[in-house]
Amino acid sequence: MSGKMLMLILDGIGDRSVEELDGKTPLEAAETPHLDSFAEEGQNGLMDTIAPGIRPGSDTGHLSLLGYDPYEVYSGRGPFEAAGIGMELAPDDVAFRCNFATLEDGKVVDRRAGRIKEDTEELAEAIRDIDIGVDFEFEKAVEHRCVLVLKGEGLGGDVTDVDPHEIDTEFHEAAPMVDSEENRRTAELLNEFVEKTADVLSDHPVNRKREGDGKLPANVILPRGGGKVPDMDDLDSKHGLDAGAVSGIPLVRGVCALAGMDILEVEEATGGLDTDPDSIIEAVVGSIKDHDLMMVNIKGCDLSGHDGLPGQKVDFIEKLDSSVAKLKELEDVYIAITGDHSTPVTIQDHSGDPLPLTIWGEDVRVDDIDEFNERACSKGAINRIKGGDLLNILKDLADLTEKFGA
Amino acid sequence: MSGKMLMLILDGIGDRSVEELDGKTPLEAAETPHLDSFAEEGQNGLMDTIAPGIRPGSDTGHLSLLGYDPYEVYSGRGPFEAAGIGMELAPDDVAFRCNFATLEDGKVVDRRAGRIKEDTEELAEAIRDIDIGVDFEFEKAVEHRCVLVLKGEGLGGDVTDVDPHEIDTEFHEAAPMVDSEENRRTAELLNEFVEKTADVLSDHPVNRKREGDGKLPANVILPRGGGKVPDMDDLDSKHGLDAGAVSGIPLVRGVCALAGMDILEVEEATGGLDTDPDSIIEAVVGSIKDHDLMMVNIKGCDLSGHDGLPGQKVDFIEKLDSSVAKLKELEDVYIAITGDHSTPVTIQDHSGDPLPLTIWGEDVRVDDIDEFNERACSKGAINRIKGGDLLNILKDLADLTEKFGA
């Protein structure tokens, strides 16, 4: 009888030997009785999300875990951010992450328009009336963030950022990164769009009010991270899977959306250290009956890794640990517990260090590992695999795969 | 903070279970307290230089360790030998290894012209005056060895050897291995070149003197191992690395030169059993400050393997061992200790048996292995990797790599 599959992705969980923790990794230093019991009852190993030594982004890492080759499908962050806020995308579209920003005498004085929070939908409405000769969609996202999607054929995805990534300087003119008619056209359209956002925003009532209140106006849109929407077969057509996802991070939600997964709304999945693993796990347990595969990304460890805070990372891991116990209530589910990449506190960025991996479920070949961490798992029965193989391994365990050959 | 990287390549170190050593490998039988201490303080595993079961050459093995796919870039030994003696090469050139040889009544009677050592530069000068209608360069190498490079466009690299590889037979006419205009042209040029070397050498004063002294004349050049110079991106453009190399073997120096590495001159690196590991390691310790990556090849084990001498291999390993201690003086360096291939005394040739690998440096996930050898390392935290991944792993550890994605 076929089962279900769950990938529990603990964002940035992997680490290195940390001096303040007596040479342990945060995961080794943390008290994790529940994660350890999955390791004890399951089989264990190491996983290189993309390949040994390759530092995955959150986008490329999750693509690999879902069985896509990121070197084939990854085209830049824009399309995944756009999909992450629920925009409908077609394979020929080109998407950009953007900021509402503040321009003064032709110079960018604040890349986030005083971290504007309110009335961005009104500004977005004005922007949607701009005419640049091709269809586009424009949506606000959280705070000063927004997304632009240029629609239609004949567009290229490889153009440089308009956002100068620093202040007190002019914004940049977009230019082709690779010279082609499509990229030249996109760069021209983008430059026209940016000029026209400055026109329609400069005298906008929202900005007059902001200035009256002593706030910086949001008087220009600065696009960056452009990319052509990849032509990805979704998990249903590729693997016959009805899949769902929970994540507090728009970028990961975007990857999952472009893979054709249902995105579950879990308000308590904040993507910050205040995220609530209990609520996330509860939502997953409640919704797995409707899906063949659930992917759950819990962010927290990654933030402590970026900030170089081993103690905070240990604390978050311990907070996580008690939540996962509830997953044992699930029947006929094969669970993989791992991460999307390491974020060592010694590096303060993603790294290519391999991740611990536990696969738990009825009839797996249980090994003699009884702790969930980098060193213990390295001695387990799985040995060392690539993230791109994980979905196939779970499908096989869950009897959801076809024989190749006769 | 980013660190530096060192690959210590112990040429041919890997072996198999040897009866004379009570079933141990030479590396297991040898007393190696210093290599073992790196294993104890580092993480360990097995490495397939190219892929499991594939027998690497010294050229293809080092290419793989430097992150090049030898199936893509390897075109034959000629170009690497040419680069190894310092010849300047362009991507369209075709290079051949050659021997000074002795011809008598149209037959090759000695492929090495009585192992000629002296006056080969005078012979080379005469050869450089030959006219075959295209530019070429010709250089003597060690003893009877020399190198021919045909320059310019429209040449092919796939032609058969002129060297018959046996004596008392006529030398062979070069012919295309794959039929193409370029290969036919190269074969014709090569045959004309060989005929003309016989013309200019037969009456050369150096040979008249040799014959007077009862020595065999060097009266023909026999090319072999032809190949088109590969169009390799160097390590700087591919990885942003300033890299250096030490090796006593011209072939390995050639691989490193074509990868854009500085080739350090260390006179004591002889490439034979008389090589001096102490001087080599000292040179490396002194020069690593000027490089991001140093590759050091120490030859010795390989020779004992080819000769089927386990005791000699054990002795050389013990000689090596004391030299490596000095590497511990280095700070902020990640060191990989491994080989380019196994050369089992039972096979007397390179083999595809995986190699022991230790990676040592601050913050690596130290495992519980405390010996550097084939069997001990197989239980370590690295598990089993491919040689083509090693540079990426070191770059990641040393924080010299970029994230792929966001």
A293-315 residue pLDDT tens = 999 999 999 999 999 999 999 99
**Which residue of B364, B402, B405 is in closest CB contact with A17?**
B364
For chains A and B, CB pairs below 8 A equal 93
Structural contact between residues A342 and A14, judged by C-beta atoms closer than 8 angstroms: yes
Query: What number is the average pLDDT over the span A229-246?
Result: 96
Q: Are residues B194 and B259 in the same domain?
A: no
Q: Are residues B179 and B324 in the same domain?
A: no
Residue B403 lies in a domain: no
**Which residue of B363, B384, B403 is in closest CB contact with A350?**
B403
CB contact under 8 A, A17 and B395: no
DSSP letter at B325? G
Collapse the DSSP code of A63 into the 3-class scheme (helix H, G, I; strand E, B; otherwise coil) and give the result. Answer: helix
**Which residue of A56, A60, A375 is in closest CB contact with B365?**
A375
> Domain ends where: B203, B228, B253?
B228
Residue A22 lies in a domain: yes
Which residue does chain A place closest to B406, by CA atoms? A57
Neighbour tally for A225: CB within 10 Å: 18
Where in the sequence is the domain holding A106, given as residue range(s)?
81-228
Tokens of A309: 């805070």
Query: Over the stretch A179-224, which tens digit does the pLDDT of each residue have?
Result: 999 999 999 999 999 999 999 999 999 999 999 999 999 999 999 9
Successive 10-residue mean pLDDT values, chain B, 406 residues = 92 98 98 98 98 98 98 95 95 95 96 95 97 97 95 94 96 96 97 97 96 96 96 96 96 97 94 93 95 97 97 97 95 97 97 98 96 98 98 98 95
| Nearest alpha-carbon partner for B225 in B75, B113, B55 | B75
Q: Are residues A223 and A306 in the same domain?
A: no
Tokens of B21: 């050593």
Q: Is the pLDDT of residue A2 over 90?
A: no
Q: What is the pLDDT of residue B2?
A: 84
Q: CA of B397, closest CA in chain A: separation in Å?
A: 8
| Nearest alpha-carbon partner for B224 in B147, B112, B128 | B147
Number of domains in chain A: 2
Q: Are residues A141 and A290 in the same domain?
A: no
- State the ipTM, two decimals: 0.92
Residue A270 lies in a domain: yes
**Which residue of B380, B395, B404 is in closest CB contact with A60?**
B404
Q: Is the pLDDT of residue A1 over 80?
A: no
Residue A404 lies in a domain: no
> Domain ends where: A179, A198, A228?
A228
> What's A13's domain CATH number?
3.40.720.10
Q: Are residues A264 and A365 in the same domain?
A: yes
CB contact under 8 A, A53 and B367: no
Q: Are residues B320 and B353 in the same domain?
A: yes
CB contact under 8 A, B385 and A52: yes
Contacts of A230 in chain B (CB under 8 A): none
- For an interface test with B, the pick among A24, A258, A347, A348 (most B C-beta atoms closer than 10 Å) comes out as A347
A326-362 burial, b for 16+ CB within 10 Å, e for fewer? ebeebeebbbbbbbbbbbbbbbebbbbbbbbbbbbbe
Residue B81 lies in a domain: no
| Helix, strand, coil content of chain B in percent (nearest 5) | 35, 20, 45
Query: What number is the average pLDDT over the span A348-357?
Result: 98
CB contact under 8 A, A58 and B406: yes
Q: Are residues B246 and B388 in the same domain?
A: yes
Q: Are residues B247 and B271 in the same domain?
A: yes
**Which residue of B380, B381, B389 is in closest CB contact with A52?**
B389
Residue B43 lies in a domain: yes
- φ/ψ of B148, rounded to 5, equals -115, 130
Q: Are residues B169 and B122 in the same domain?
A: yes
Contacts of B402 in chain A (CB under 8 A): 55
Q: Are residues B70 and B93 in the same domain?
A: no
Structural contact between residues A134 and A189, judged by C-beta atoms closer than 8 angstroms: yes
Residue B169 lies in a domain: yes
Q: CA of B297, closest CA in chain A: separation in Å?
A: 23
Q: Are residues B133 and B190 in the same domain?
A: yes
Q: Are residues A52 and A117 in the same domain?
A: no
CA–CA gap between residue A305 and residue B62 (Å, rounded): 35
> Domain ends where: B228, B249, B268?
B228
CB contact under 8 A, B363 and A17: yes
Residue A191 lies in a domain: yes
Residues of B with CB under 8 A from a CB of A: 363-367, 379-386, 389, 391-397, 399, 401-406
